[in-house]
Amino acid sequence: MSRFSVKKVAVLGAGVMGAQIAAHLANLRVPVLLFDLPAAEGPKSGIAIKAIEGLKKLKPAPLGVPEDAALIEPANYEEHLALLKGCDLVIEAIAERMDWKTALYEKIAPFVSPHAIVASNTSGLSITEMSQALPEAIKPRFCGIHFFNPPRYMALVELINTPSTGADVLDTLEAFVTSTLGKGVIRAFDTPNFVANRVGVAGMLATMHEAEHFGLSYDVVDDLTGKKTGPRQLGHFPHGRRGGPGHHGPCDPHASRQYRRRQERGPVCRALCHAASAGQAAGSQKPGSENRCRFLQKTRPRHPATGPADHGLCAGRCQVQ
Task: Tell me what pLDDT residue 113 has.
Answer: 95
pLDDT single digits (tens) 126-172: 999 999 999 999 999 999 999 998 999 999 999 999 999 998 999 99
185 bridge partner residues: 157
pTM confidence score: 0.75
C-alpha distances out from residue 107 to 72, 95, 146, Å: 22, 16, 22
Closest CA to 47 of 10, 78, 5, 76: 76
Contact 6, 176 (CB under 8 A): yes
Backbone angles phi, psi at 52, to 5 degrees: -65, -40
Domains and CATH numbers, the chain: 9-188 (3.40.50.720), 196-314 (no CATH)
Distance CA 177, CA 179 (A): 6
Task: Tell me what pLDDT residue 273 has.
Answer: 52
**In what side-by-side order are the strands of the sheet with 117-120?**
72-76, 32-36, 9-12, 89-92, 117-120, 142-147, 156-160, 184-188
Task: Tell me what pLDDT residue 240 has.
Answer: 61
Q: Which amino acid is at 9?
A: V
Task: Tell me what pLDDT residue 309 has.
Answer: 35
Answer positive or negative: Cα dihedral of 66, 231, 122, 44.
negative
Residue 298, number of CB atoms within 10 A of its CB: 11
- Segments of the chain scoring below 70 in pLDDT: 1-3, 229-321
Specify burial of residue 279 (Cβ count, 10 A radius: 0-12, 13-18, 19+): exposed
Closest CA to 24 of 94, 57, 72, 80: 72
Contact 190, 198 (CB under 8 A): no
Task: Tell me what pLDDT residue 158 has.
Answer: 96
Angle at 11 between CA 25 and CA 41, to 5 degrees: 120
pLDDT single digits (tens) 210-223: 888 888 887 888 87
Query: Which positions ≥6 away from 206 have C-beta within 8 Å?
Result: none
Distance CA 162, CA 143 (A): 6
Active site residue 274: no
Marked catalytic residue, from 24, 146, 247, 248: 146
Answer positive or negative: Cα dihedral of 258, 259, 264, 269.
positive
Contact 203, 299 (CB under 8 A): no
Task: Tell me what pLDDT residue 270 has.
Answer: 57
Query: Which positions ≥6 away from 4 have C-beta within 8 Å?
Result: 88, 117, 172, 173, 175, 176
Task: Tell me what pLDDT residue 234 has.
Answer: 67
